[in-house]
Amino acid sequence: MKIMLLGAPGSGKGTQAQFICERYGIPQISTGDMLRAAVREGTELGRKAKAIMDAGELVPDDIILKLIAARISQPDCANGFLLDGFPRTIAQAEGLEKMEVQLDWVIEIDVPDEEIVKRLSGRRVHPASGRVYHLLYNPPKEDCKDDVTGEPLIQRDDDKEETVRKRLEVYHRQTAPLVDFYRQRSAEGKVKFATVPGIGTVEEIRDRIFQILEQA
Ligand code: AP5
């Protein structure tokens, strides 16, 4: 199973990725998590990416495509994977096709911009695992601690309101055109495409996605 989750920043891709990966036994490939790991490790890639990410812009396509090519060639991807936050431009989607990766499903999670700002201001993350929480909508069991390890949760640098608005603008300009790109691929029978309304509880959205994947 090769699945891609498409949606604005804060639409719930990371949250839903965890359920899907657990159910289908596939790894989650989040380019955002990979870039944040490079920033924490202080690699050359991390140093280049940090300023771009903090400004809410996109890291260049060639860098991202190299990261993805290396990741999907690893043995744990042999039976499929879930792409979270990639592709994000038409050039990245075409680059993926050139790697001869055939996606089974593209699922778009559709959430209005006003809701995104609320969600991202309350988001807290466990950096080492990528687990995602929200202070009100999806709180950890213990105040500001990861449910599994008990380690502290942090707020991402790019979740400040001004940066969130910039990320939304970049999403509408550079990533939203992928909806039509994959609708077209779907009409050609190359991939299955569905849009899931992203307003509702985390569990409601999860069930909508599972219903789509399982009906097929
Ligand atoms: P990335 O890490 O990919 O961020 P993003 O796409 O902006 O997505 P987010 O992680 O912010 O949100 P999400 O949709 O996963 O939502 P979540 O589940 O956390 O990218 C960061 C940066 O890296 C980019 O800006 C760019 O610079 C760079 N980058 C990454 N990939 C790149 C690429 N391919 N090309 C170029 N540059 C790239 O949920 C959000 C919050 O809402 C959480 O608090 C959650 O608990 C809560 N929530 C979730 N679902 C619900 C619900 N149903 N109801 C209420 N609250 C909910």
| Tokens encoding 105 | 């499903």
Q: Which of 2, 71, 123, 131 is catalytic?
A: 123
Residues having CB closer than 6 A to ligand 1 are: 7, 9-15, 31-32, 35, 52-53, 56-59, 64, 85-86, 88, 92, 119-120, 122-123, 132-134, 137-138, 158, 167, 200-202, 205
Q: Are 117 and 164 in contact (CB under 8 A)?
A: yes
Q: Are 140 and 133 in contact (CB under 8 A)?
A: yes
Q: Which of the listed CATH numbers 3.40.50.150, 3.40.50.11540, 3.40.50.300, 3.50.50.60 matches domain 2-215?
A: 3.40.50.300
123 is catalytic: yes
- Tell me the domain boundaries of the chain: 2-215
Residue-wise pLDDT for 129-138, tens only, equals: 889 999 998 9
Coil/strand/helix, residue 106: strand
pLDDT band at 216 (very low <50, low <70, confident <90, very high): low
Strand partners, 132: 125
- With a CB cutoff of 8 Å and minimum separation 6, the contacts of 191 are 102, 103, 104, 105, 106, 182, 185
Q: Return the half-sphere exposure (C-beta side, CA atoms, 13 A cut-off) of residue 19.
A: 16
Which residue has the CA at smallest separation from atom 2 of ligand 1? 32
- What ipTM describes this predicted complex? 0.96
Q: How many residues are listed for the chain in this entry?
A: 216
- Indicate which atom in ligand 1 lies nearest the CA of residue 123: 44
Residue-wise pLDDT for 48-86, tens only, equals: 999 999 999 999 999 999 999 999 999 999 999 999 999
